[in-house]
Every structure is written in structure tokens, then in C-alpha cells.
Amino acid sequence: MGSSEESVVAVIMVGGPTKGTRFRPLSLNIPKPLFPLAGQPMVHHPISACKRIPNLAQIYLIGFYEEREFALFVSSISNELRVPVRYLKEDKPHGSAGGLYNFRDLILEDNYSHIVLLNCDVCCSFPLPEMLEAHRSYGGMGTILVNKVSPESANQFGALVADPVTNELLHYTEKPETFVSDRINCGVYIFTPEIFTAIQGVSTQRKERATLRRVTSFEALQPANRSLPTDFVRLDQDILSPLAGKKQFYVYETRDFWEQIKTPGMSLKCSGLYLSQFRFTSPHLLASGNGSKNATISGDVYIHPSSKVHPTAKIGPNVSISANARIGAGARLVSCIILDDVEIKENAVVIHAIVGWKSSIGRWSRVQASGDYNAKLGVTILVIIIKLMTFLYEPGESVLPNKTLNVSVQDEIIL
């Protein structure tokens, strides 16, 4: 049993259509995990990272989307990366750990030595091989990827305290109101199969407590007393928090970039982060040109081979152009994601924007936002079939599909 002793399975949680409403309006047209960043679907990035793990045998995607939404992607990426990828649909919410547990029979089928658990909407360098090495040396049940953030923003995440020498997880609190630590949970984990025992323990405990506990009908209505279903297990509150300090979990710190891709604005920022990573991992994916035969390229730019860009256009930095787009003479694109079948006509300017599928931007138009990725209206989003005539958009309109805009619009969300 030589090679399969050390084989690894990866599980990527991809969420569902009712979750992640902050990603609208982009998620009205495509499942968020399939939205392209740096020219590849969002979930492609963690999947490629998993491929770097030696002895990676299988990848599962777990989510609430219909299976057909992922069928095409899953078969195409399995072929492309030569690793079996399979989508599993959760029938009901099980919590972040419960989802893993729900499919334990499948996941443990081939006696994997390690389980990598990732969240799809995390943007980072995924240092998985190094993290696996560290995990082996720690010898615990699980290793959590952590990142240092500013103390002011730490309370938005899961805060961890770890022993600086042994790297053991000593304390874990989800979204603390007061300051606990500036190290936060990145949503990337490596577990040994013992994790399933731990999850089952929580489940059993909850069942026992439910039968033992007798409350008045009034008490039963109070939110605190409303007990969770027995198969609903949260990784953070139900596993990591209680088991912190018991030599079960360890941390591995990354100094690289880390972001959560919750909003369309963040997708633009993360697309830029992945593009700059390509410079080291896959420079052949980046475009180049100086205006003589190809368009002038500035900074990190991805252009799908099927798209046409006029040589007098200037593209970049941080631009990703998807398939079948046509970029006309003298156009200027800065910090934007151009989706499939978009037409950008002569001399148009697009800055800090996401231009949706089949949109058309007229000659000398300007689409521009402030570029503050976190501001509600910091990035302009045009979604599907917008015919933009010769005018300007001010910071952040979100425009819903199938609209024609003939006049200048400023600071609005257009329905």
C-alpha cells in the first residue's frame, strides 16, 4: 500500500445561489465560483493549487448549486489538469464541517492520508505543499492557514491565538467583538481522517443534549435555546474553538496576499492579485505588446486567444479579457474585467469596471469608477447587453442586464 498511504483528497466548498448575495449582480448570471478571475473561473485557482500537492488523487467540489451548473466545468477541468474533479450537491445546510461529514463515505473511500479543505471564495497563494509538510511535522488532527491582518479589521474574521514556538492553536474565536488577535483564519485547512471522528462527536453530543434537555415551551422559543439540527456542525465554533489548546490543531502562517472574494469589487482586486502571481507561476498566460504589431500592454494583462485587440489600443495594468471580445482602435482599458463577447469600440475608455457578457461600449464612451474596491460603488459593473453610447459613468453603477444607456449616468444602481 505504498503510494496510496500518502494520497491526498481535496474538498472545496463552493456555496450556493442563495448564499453570497453580496456578489450580485454578477451572480445573477453565473454561479459565483465560475466567475472568471485573471481569465480563469474563480474555483480554478484553488483547484490548480491543489494540483501542486504531491500525490493529490481526487478533488471534490461541495455546494448547493444544481449539478448541471457544474457539469461542464468539472469535466473540462478534469481533462485539463488530469485529476478527477467531482461536484457534490448538498441537499440541505450542514454547516462548514457538517458538509464534509455528510460526504464522509465518499471522501474516505480510498483511505486518503490527508484531507485538504478550502473555501472557494478565498483568494490567496495557497501554499499547500509547504502547509502539508508543516502539518506532518506537527502531527496534529489539523493545520489551519493563518494570515496577519490589521488589528482594526481582525474582528471580521475568525481570530486565532497560536503558540509561537510549537504553532499549536491555543485559542479560537469567530468574529470577536473585542480584539483577540491579529492572526486570522484564512479558510484553508489540512486534516487527517480523525477530523471525521471529531465531527461525529459533536453531532452525537448534540443529539444526546436534545433528548435530555427539557425546556418550557416559552424557553424553547428563545433564540439561544433553539438547538441546531444534530447534523449541522460548524468548523469554527463547534470544532476549532472547543479543541483549541488540546494539542489537536496547529497553524501555518502565510505572508503572501489573502483576500475574501465577497463582492464584485473584490473580484476585480483579486483578479489583479492572481494576474501578478502569474508573472511567477505562469508567465506564458500574460499578454505582451508595444503597439507595433500588438496592442500596447502595461503591467499584468490576460487576453483570451479568441479575443481581438486593435494594435492602437492600450491595455493594463490589471486587465483580464475573456473570450470573443473585440477591443477597437484607440481604446484604453485600465483595471477591469471584460467578459465574453464584449465589444469596446474606438477610443472608448474603461477604468475600474467589470463589463458584462455581450455588452457593447460605444465610441468615445467612458466607463469609470473610483477604484476603491471596498466602497459600495467603487467599481462600475455593467452586466449583459448594455449598449453604451458616447458618455461617462461615474463611480459605480451596477447596471442590471439588458439595459441600453444613452445618457450620462452617475452614482446610481440602475435596475
Shortest Å, Cβ 298 to another protein: 11
Interface of this chain with another protein, residues 237 to 256, rule: CB under 8 A: none
Q: How far apart are CA 365 and CA 122, in angstroms?
A: 34
Q: Pick left, alpha or beta for residue 187 (phi over 0 → left; psi -120 to 50 → alpha; otherwise beta).
A: left
Beta bridge partners of 192: none
Binding segment for another protein (CB under 8 A), chosen from 43-51, 188-196, 248-256, 387-395, is 387-395
Shortest Å, Cβ 372 to another protein: 12
Is 351 a residue that touches another protein (CB under 8 A)? yes
- One of 6, 174, 340, 394 touching another protein (CB under 8 A): 394
Q: How far apart are CA 111 and CA 6, in angstroms?
A: 9
- Report the candidate in 211, 276, 230, 270 with the shortest Cα–Cα distance to residue 33: 270
Is 363 a residue that touches another protein (CB under 8 A)? yes
Q: Which is nearer to another protein, 4 or 408 (CB)?
A: 408
| C-alpha to C-alpha distances, 47 to 110, 153, 373, 412, nearest whole angstrom | 20, 28, 25, 37
Binding segment for another protein (CB under 8 A), chosen from 21-29, 33-41, 59-67, 363-371, is 363-371
DSSP state of 141: S
Q: How far apart are CA 358 and CA 228, in angstroms?
A: 45
Shortest Å, Cβ 289 to another protein: 17
Q: Which is nearer to another protein, 15 or 362 (CB)?
A: 362
Shortest Å, Cβ 411 to another protein: 10
- One of 368, 379, 397, 403 touching another protein (CB under 8 A): 368
Binding segment for another protein (CB under 8 A), chosen from 29-37, 97-105, 199-207, 364-372, is 364-372
- One of 57, 228, 329, 375 touching another protein (CB under 8 A): 329
Binding segment for another protein (CB under 8 A), chosen from 43-51, 167-175, 278-286, 324-332, is 324-332
Q: Which is nearer to another protein, 84 or 311 (CB)?
A: 311
Is 316 a residue that touches another protein (CB under 8 A)? no
For residue 68, give every residue at least 6 positions away whose Cβ sits within 8 Å of its Cβ, in sequence order, or none. Answer: none
- One of 78, 257, 364, 387 touching another protein (CB under 8 A): 364
Q: How far apart are CA 36 and CA 43, in angstroms?
A: 9
Q: How far apart are CA 6 and CA 324, in angstroms?
A: 43
Q: Pick left, alpha or beta for residue 229 (phi over 0 → left; psi -120 to 50 → alpha; otherwise beta).
A: beta
Burial 144-156 (b: 16+ CB within 10 A, else e): bbbbebeeeebbe
- Report the candidate in 1, 43, 29, 127 with the shortest Cα–Cα distance to residue 354: 29
- One of 349, 383, 384, 386 touching another protein (CB under 8 A): 349
Beta bridge partners of 37: 40
Binding segment for another protein (CB under 8 A), chosen from 66-74, 112-120, 246-254, 343-351, is 343-351
Is 332 a residue that touches another protein (CB under 8 A)? yes
- One of 330, 375, 387, 401 touching another protein (CB under 8 A): 330
- Report the candidate in 109, 85, 91, 93 with the shortest Cα–Cα distance to residue 10: 85
- One of 312, 317, 389, 409 touching another protein (CB under 8 A): 312
Which value, in Å, is the radius of gyration of the alpha carbons in the chain?
23
Binding segment for another protein (CB under 8 A), chosen from 143-151, 298-306, 318-326, 327-335, is 327-335
- One of 77, 251, 334, 337 touching another protein (CB under 8 A): 334
Find the helix or strand (DSSP H, E) in which 258 lies. Answer: strand 258-260
Q: How far apart are CA 158 and CA 174, in angstroms?
A: 4
Binding segment for another protein (CB under 8 A), chosen from 129-137, 248-256, 344-352, 375-383, is 344-352
Shortest Å, Cβ 337 to another protein: 18
Please state, as a whole number, how many other Cβ atoms lie within 10 Å of the Cβ of residue 256.
11
Contact 349, 366 (CB under 8 A): yes
What are the residues binding another protein (CB under 8 A)?
A: 312, 314, 329-330, 332, 334, 346-347, 349, 351, 363-364, 366, 368, 370, 390, 392, 394-395
